[in-house]
Amino acid sequence: MQRWPAEAIWQAVEPLLPAFSVEILPEIDSTNTELMRRIRAGRAEPTLLVAERQTAGRGRLGRQWQADAGASLTFSLSLPLAPQDWSGLSLAVGVSVADSLHSAIKIKWPNDLWLDDRKLAGILIETASIEGQRHAVIGVGINITPRAGDGMSTPPASLQELLPEIGAAETLERIAAPLVKAVLAFERSGFEAFRAAFARRDLLKGRPLVTSDGTNGMGQGVDETGALLLATGAEVRKISSAEVSVRPVGGSFDTTASTAPRPQGS
């Protein structure tokens, strides 16, 4: 097992999140799945769970998230959360992670970090409720070392393209405490607190886009809730639904999601 900065992260975060713990596992099916299981079983203390290897990593829309051990950073953060409005949480998380890493990283609405028009990282946010309290599980997977495209139409980017010496442990150390602070700021102030920072990293703004229902338009940023604004000839549409996907015209990738997490718990 590599050396992880668990103690340093705990020292920085515990004053903000009482009962917080950091856990590093050599292997698990999925850090998101495990934290969702724990919450549903009543073990809902705030936790940062890192896995050196996931055997069933999950992405959005039932997709898999595959990464070789050592080639990526995979972790999930669970915490009780009660924002007035959950809209835009994935964008706030993206802003925080990007700000902790590099100015060249863009955010592809609603859940991805991109570098030079290639995917660098994915965010998967789920929620579960227990005893009337809703908990968020925020999963992040970041490609650290370069890897082959694995049949993907667009081969992924890696963080070492920007920061050649960086490893998974150092990446986590940079990200973790700022991410907790960002999520707590989101709980207090909502997406508005992140809107300007998101705009600086918006990959889709000013690009011709097409949605899954065949609408063409120009990306015009996001509104105050984090909904994507798509200017068609006749109107400006707001896209926040999980049912609509959007991709740049001529691009090979798609996105389908909402900027607010989907409740999964009972």
**Residues catalogued as catalytic:** 60, 119, 247
> 28 and 55 in contact (C-beta within 8 Å)?
yes
* For ligand BTN, the closer CB: 217 or 259: 259
Chain centre to alpha carbon of residue 73: 12
Eight-state DSSP code of residue 252: S
**Bond prior to 263 in cis (omega within 30° of 0):** no
Q: Which residues share a beta bridge with 121? A: 113, 142
Minimal distance, residue 203 CB to ligand BTN, in Å: 14
> For residues 22-81, which are near ligand BTN according to CB under 6 A?
30-32, 54, 57-60, 63, 65, 74-76
* For ligand BTN, the closer CB: 60 or 205: 60
141 near ligand BTN, rule: CB under 6 A: yes
Number of neighbouring beta carbons within 10 Å of residue 2: 11
C-alpha separations of 225 from 40, 88, 129 in Å = 29, 6, 23
122 near ligand BTN, rule: CB under 6 A: yes
Minimal distance, residue 176 CB to ligand BTN, in Å: 13
* For ligand BTN, the closer CB: 50 or 227: 50
3-class DSSP assignment, residue 72: strand
Minimal distance, residue 11 CB to ligand BTN, in Å: 23
* Residues at the site binding ligand BTN, with contacts judged by CB under 6 A: 30-32, 54, 57-60, 63, 65, 74-76, 112, 122-124, 139-141
